[in-house]
Amino acid sequence: MRRRQASRRASAWRSSRITARCPGVDRLRRYREHSQGVAMVVHELRTPLMPVLTAAALLGSASPTQLLHMKGVIERKVEHLVRLVDDLMDVSRAESGKFHLRIKTLDLAKLLRSVHETCEPAITARGQRLELRLPHGPVELPGDAERLRQVFANLVFNACKYTPEGGRIAVEVEVFVESVVVSVSDGGIGIDAAMLPRVFDAFAQERRATRYNGDGLGLGLAVVRELTEAHGGSVVAHSAGLGWEAGSR
């Protein structure tokens, strides 16, 4: 009897010790992800700077034709840098709770048509198709139009990023009694099951997705989640795509 009691006590102690170690493991994982994120930021900011520095060094001896080419290079790379910095600022604002939303009643269908117009040139350039499936009539809900436009553009560009040439991306809106659901699906490589719980974390990029098309900081979906939750909505990921919901059923 005493042996059995001692064994049970030892088992309980081992279980509590393992449980106590879990927060440390989580902290270590977060620290590692933060370190990897910092290294990624440095790399992504440095990459567009090098062509700018090269072009600037050659400006004094360039011909008029070369100057036009260099001007284009500098403009594209600076725009890339601005997007990276904007993403970093958005994540920082979200983590500190400093998002300021201008909430008004808007037509989600009209907003998504404008997102379609914004995204279509980049998608067409990759030989992809963007399908927009909207209900008849307006879809009114309260929200910050500019921020929601950013949310859906990020979702569409994320799908574009991992969809092969000639692939299809679909945006579909479903209206329920107490909620509106927007689904973004694509014919890309899908999301690994182990990655699904972390796909909206800052700096989270799946390894095979990075090999497939690895530009960016992995902040776009983090911004999507923060902006969506600031609107009182939710966003979820499935292997076949991403779903956005406003309201509650």
* Count of C-beta atoms within a 10 Å radius of residue 37: 19
Residue 5 has pLDDT above 50, yes or no: no
The residue among 110 and 207 whose pLDDT is bigger is 110
Tens digits of residue pLDDT in 115-163? 999 888 888 888 999 999 999 999 999 999 988 998 998 888 888 877 8
Same domain for 166 and 198, yes or no, is yes
Same domain for 130 and 229, yes or no, is yes
Which residues does residue 104 pair with via DSSP β-bridges, in sequence order? 143
Same domain for 218 and 235, yes or no, is yes
Same domain for 88 and 112, yes or no, is no
Count the domains in the chain: 2
Same domain for 224 and 128, yes or no, is yes
Query: 2: which residues sit within 8 A by CB, 6+ positions away?
Result: none
Q: Which CATH number do you get for residue 20?
A: 1.10.287.130
